[in-house]
Structure 1
Amino acid sequence: MGILKTRKNKKFSYTPRYYDNKGEDGSPFEIKHKFDDYRKTVGDNKGLKSKFVDALDDLKNNRDKEVNKRLIIIIAILILIFLFIIEFDLSIFFSK
């Protein structure tokens, strides 16, 4: 080992034990989620607006309406907690 020479990394030809080389993905190390093919929100989105539009489309096309109701209730509760923390006066919404 010389002073001016850098050490080279070792290269191994490792293949996993239960790897089928004829698979559809090609790489055994690629991680792909189960529902990526069915969702629009997964993938390369360029900007914030396109991400938001894709998320709204995914929410509208969701067939499970109970999940949508639950999501709206959770968002409403979080907004009320935020308004309570910043001491927002809710009495302006109610008439006397």
Structure 2
Amino acid sequence: MGIFKLRKNKKFSYTPRYYEDRGEGNPFEIKHKFDEFRKTVGPNIGIKAKFLNAIDELKNNPDKAVTRRILIIAGILVFIFLLIIEFDLSIFFSK
């Protein structure tokens, strides 16, 4: 009985009455359109593996503008957090 383990969903072999298989796959499968291009989507794995997959995906991203945008947004959010907790920002600036 793991506290942090999630239960797997039950799978049933249901086929609708008027369903014709046209080779398009299961009509009841919920899938995001970018799932086939990402590593981080899939079964529940450990947090370390998720983090390493996310870092690997970020490093191998061909679009460098997205990476730069993520870093800028993270920097702005850290700066706002430091302002909210009233951190003394004068240590970053020379007098």
**TM-score, length of structure 1 as denominator length:** 0.73
| 1:37 alignment partner, SS class | helix
Q: Which runs of 5+ in 2 are unaligned?
A: 1-14
Which has the higher Rg, Structure 1 or Structure 2? 1
> What do residues 47-81 of structure 1 show as CA deviations (whole Å, max 9, x unaligned)?
11111111111111110111111111001000000
Offset, 1:15: 4.0
- Counterpart residue number, 2:50: 51
Aligned residues: 81
Offset, 1:23: 2.1
**TM-score, length of structure 2 as denominator length:** 0.74
State the alpha-carbon separation in 2 of the partners of residues 77 and 20 from structure 1. 52
| 2:33 alignment partner, SS class | coil
The alignment yields a C-alpha RMSD, in angstroms, of 1.9
Aligned residue identity for 1:21: D
Q: Which runs of 5+ in 1 are unaligned?
A: 1-12
Identity, % of aligned positions: 63
